[in-house]
Amino acid sequence: MRQLILDTETTGLNARTGDRILELGCVELVNRRLTGNNLHFYINPERDSDPGALAVHGLTTEFLSDKPKFADIADQIRDFIQGADLIIHNAPFDIGFLDAEFALLGLPPVSTYCGEIIDTLARAKQMFPGKRNSLDALCDRFGISNAHRTLHGALLDSELLAEVYLAMTRGQESLVIDMLGESHAGGEAHAPRVAIESLDLVVIAASDDELAAHQEVLDGLDKAIRGTSVWRLEPAPVSAVSDEQAA
């Protein structure tokens, strides 16, 4: 499974009115493992950045003047994303700019070359409704350090988003994917399956000190809400629920 975390920096906010891409970064994941096979370009956008955009990325017209134009690197980008799923924060923005750049060259849109396009902003809004879901906010939420991020940069933001995406999807399903990735990487296509029922699972009971600490936390919750916290409410017995439903 090959995935690319992609980010762009642009001269402004609207590709339809002539804004252009001036930086592109892609970080590669294979079976949820960072490979180090990344793609990064500074691009001469052939125009100045809007003052607001310049304040965000800090890439001046002078700095970009000797960098390749998008037409010079379009084939490398198309080859790199071929068949891979793209993971992008606020995907419509970046895809819209890439499609506009390809259109200027008479090329088909991004979706022609890549697999699925995954929008981490849309997923974050589903996971954390009503919360701030910017890249910085998600880094804070998942404990990912972004202290070295003073300005936006396509490659740095892609690296941070890769960590955020792995944290967002670090569930039971992704654990299975991780295990599959390890077996495929080692070439063990016919590795023996483990029968879960045969495992002798160890149950570790809480100590008296741990139970007392837990009780103290519950007391604090009760005090804070001036009532009984949900953690003290016991579920109704299964038989009682069944009888009620039967009635």
CATH superfamily assigned to domain 2-185: Ribonuclease H-like superfamily/Ribonuclease H (3.30.420.10)
| pLDDT classification of 226: cutoffs 50, 70, 90 | confident
* Percent of the chain scoring above 90 in pLDDT: 62
Q: Is 157 annotated as a binding residue?
A: yes
Q: Is 184 annotated as a binding residue?
A: no
Residues 6+ apart with CB under 8 A from 118: 3, 85, 86, 87, 88, 91, 165
Q: Which of 53, 40, 139 is nearest to 80 (CA)?
A: 40
- What CA–CA distance (Å, rounded) separates 245 from 247? 5
245 vs 166, more confident? 166
Please, are residues 11 and 61 in contact by the beta-carbon 8 Å criterion? no
Please, are residues 1 and 129 in contact by the beta-carbon 8 Å criterion? no
**What does the pLDDT look like over 141-191, one tens digit per residue?**
999 987 766 567 888 899 999 999 999 998 634 444 444 444 444 444 444
- Give the pLDDT of residue 198: 55
235 vs 166, more confident? 166
Q: Is 79 annotated as a binding residue?
A: no
- Give the pLDDT of residue 109: 97
With 80 as the cut, is the pLDDT of residue 122 above it?
A: yes
**What does the pLDDT look like over 1-28, one tens digit per residue?**
899 999 999 999 999 999 999 999 999 9
| Overall average pLDDT of the 214-242 stretch | 68
Q: Could you give the residue range(s) of every CATH 3.30.420.10 domain in the chain? A: 2-185
Of 13-22, 107-116, 205-214, 235-244, which gets the smallest average pLDDT? Answer: 235-244
| Overall average pLDDT of the 133-141 stretch | 93
Strands 117-119, 85-88: pairing kind: parallel
DSSP 68: P
Of 106-115, 128-137, 216-225, which gets the smallest average pLDDT? Answer: 216-225
How high does pLDDT run on average in the chain? 83
Active-site residues, by number, are: 152
- Give the pLDDT of residue 62: 96
Q: Is 9 annotated as a binding residue?
A: yes
Residue 180, CB-side half-sphere exposure with 13 Å CA sphere: 10
